[in-house]
């Protein structure tokens, strides 16, 4: 590791967390690389003074909610998630009025204010388990419509979905899956549940990023194609160097690619950008995240 980064980490008693979609160089200097669920869990349990969160804003916000006593830094302020901006807390209140009694399951890709209006949070790693554990027969699921459709196919419950989407995963088409099958007939195809329903239906497996890694470790297939952000290729190749991995389409999340090692160094030098959540919102959002950690582990 870059020596100034190592020194800054020690001086600040800091931990660097990076999402699986981060640039290769950021993954390589991080203390932990993982999916949204794994990183939330680490943030809630770890003993340190500062967390540098290399990912997008809602992920750093989750860390700040789960560990309000720590200083959580997001190295690049513009690293945001467009899907998380597709629903507001006022939208959630309106949905609750329209569907009285239905619990609200919010995907982790949401703002703290939206989580504060929700019953329980979930990630792609535990969404099916959480929906099936809830007693209600009708569930409001926000904000990802594609993940909502996937959940509806995995449960007998009625899923009332919001119309949000991930622009990156929406770019993966059925044509990409068919082309891959034609080019590499022996490869396994795994896609993220944020993909379009026809892409999910044509894939061999559907997993969040952590599930993709667990599957790749166990699989005997020599070639695995993934339908998700390309940062996963570096992660998978590091963990399973003897396998071949390829991507479906040109799948880049521009926000996940904004952070570089120089930004991490600057974040620690200047203590930027500190992520804080107003106390009233934080308490309610923490409840939804704590419920997820309890039900979804």
List interacting residues with ligand 13P (CB under 6 A): 20, 35-36, 109, 123-124, 166, 194, 208-209
Burial degree of 203 (CB within 10 A; 0-12, 13-18, 19+) = buried
Torsion over CA: 248, 225, 203, 165 (sign): negative
Select from 14, 83, 172, 232 the one that contacts ligand SF4 (CB under 6 A): 83
Partner touching 172 among ligand 13P, ligand SF4, none, CB below 5 to 8 Å by kind: none
Count of residues binding ligand SF4 (CB under 6 A)? 14
Residue 20 binds which of ligand SF4, ligand 13P, none (CB < 5-8 A, kind-dependent)? ligand 13P
Residue with Cβ nearer ligand 13P (124 or 161): 124
48 burial type by CB count under 10 A (0-12 exposed, 13-18 middle, 19+ buried): middle
Nearer to ligand SF4, 192 or 215 (CB): 192
Shortest Å, Cβ 203 to ligand SF4: 17
Window of 75-83, 126-134, 151-159, 195-203 that interacts with ligand SF4 by CB under 6 A:
75-83
Nearest residue to 265 via CA among 23, 29, 24: 29
Measured CA to CA, the distance from residue 151 to residue 41 in angstroms comes to: 23
Stretch of 154-162, 214-222, 251-259, 267-275 contacting ligand SF4, by CB under 6 A: 251-259
Residue 40 binds ligand SF4, judged by CB under 6 A: no
Minimum Å gap between C-beta 179 and ligand 13P is: 22
Distances (CA, A) of 211 to 58, 125, 276: 21, 7, 30
| Smallest separation, CB 59 to ligand SF4 (Å) | 8
Angstrom distances, CA of residue 72 to CA of 29, 106, 284: 17, 22, 19
Contacts (CB under 6 A) with ligand SF4, residues 211-250: 229
Q: Residue from 40, 62, 109, 209 that binds ligand SF4 (CB under 6 A)?
A: 109
**Other CB atoms within 10 Å distance of the CB of residue 166:** 25
Rounded CA-CA distance 118/107 in Å is 10
Shortest distance (Å) from residue 144 CB to ligand SF4: 8
With respect to ligand 13P, which residue has the nearer C-beta, 4 or 78? 78
Among ligand 13P, ligand SF4, none, residue 123 binds (CB under 5-8 Å by kind): ligand 13P
When CB distances are held under 5 to 8 angstroms depending on the partner's kind, the choice from ligand 13P, ligand SF4, none that residue 12 binds is: none
Instruction: Please state, in angstroms and rounded to a whole number, the distance separating the CA atoms of residues 143 and 167.
Output: 13
Under a CB-based contact definition with an 8 Å cutoff, are residues 146 and 194 in contact?
Answer: yes
Helix, strand, or coil (residue 71): strand
215: Cβ–Cβ under 8 A, 6 or more apart, which residues? Answer: 190, 205, 207, 224
Q: Which does 208 bind (CB under 5 to 8 A by kind): ligand 13P, ligand SF4, none?
A: ligand 13P
Using CB under 6 A as the binding rule, the residues of this chain from 151 to 180 that contact ligand SF4 are 166-169
In the bound state with ligand SF4, the residue whose beta carbon lies nearer, of 227 and 296, is: 227
Contact 161, 145 (CB under 8 A): yes
Residue linked to tokens 């329209």:
98
Q: Which residues bind ligand SF4 (CB under 6 A)?
A: 56, 81-83, 109, 166-169, 194, 229, 253, 255-256
């Amino acid at each position: 590791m870059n020596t100034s980064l190592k020194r800054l980490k020690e001086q600040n008693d800091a931990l660097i967390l990076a999402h699986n979609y981060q640039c290769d160089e950021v993954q390589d200097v991080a203390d932990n690389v993982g999916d949204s669920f794994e990183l939330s869990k680490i943030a809630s349990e770890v003993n340190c003074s500062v967390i540098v969160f290399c990912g997008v804003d809602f992920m750093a916000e989750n860390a700040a909610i789960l560990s309000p006593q720590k200083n959580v830094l997001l190295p690049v302020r513009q690293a945001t998630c467009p899907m998380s901006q597709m629903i507001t807390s006022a939208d959630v209140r309106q949905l609750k009025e329209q569907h009285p009694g239905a619990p609200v399951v919010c995907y982790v890709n949401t703002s703290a204010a939206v989580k504060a209006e929700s019953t329980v949070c979930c990630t792609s790693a535990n969404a099916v388990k959480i929906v099936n554990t809830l007693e209600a027969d009708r569930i409001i699921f926000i904000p990802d419509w594609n993940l909502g459709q996937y959940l509806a196919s995995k449960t007998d419950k009625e899923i009332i979905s919001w119309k949000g989407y991930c622009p990156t995963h929406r770019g993966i088409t059925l044509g990409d899956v068919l082309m891959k099958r034609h080019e590499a007939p022996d490869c396994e195809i795994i896609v993220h549940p944020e993909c379009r329903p026809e892409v999910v239906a044509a894939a061999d497996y559907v997993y969040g990023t952590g599930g993709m890694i667990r599957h790749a470790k166990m699989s005997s297939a020599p070639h695995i194609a993934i339908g998700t952000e390309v940062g996963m290729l570096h992660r998978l190749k590091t963990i399973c160097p003897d396998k071949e991995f390829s991507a479906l389409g040109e799948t880049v999340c521009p926000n996940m690619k904004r952070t570089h090692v120089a930004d991490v160094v600057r974040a620690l030098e200047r203590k930027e950008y500190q992520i804080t959540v107003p106390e009233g919102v934080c308490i309610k959002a923490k409840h939804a995240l704590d419920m997820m950690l309890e039900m979804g582990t």
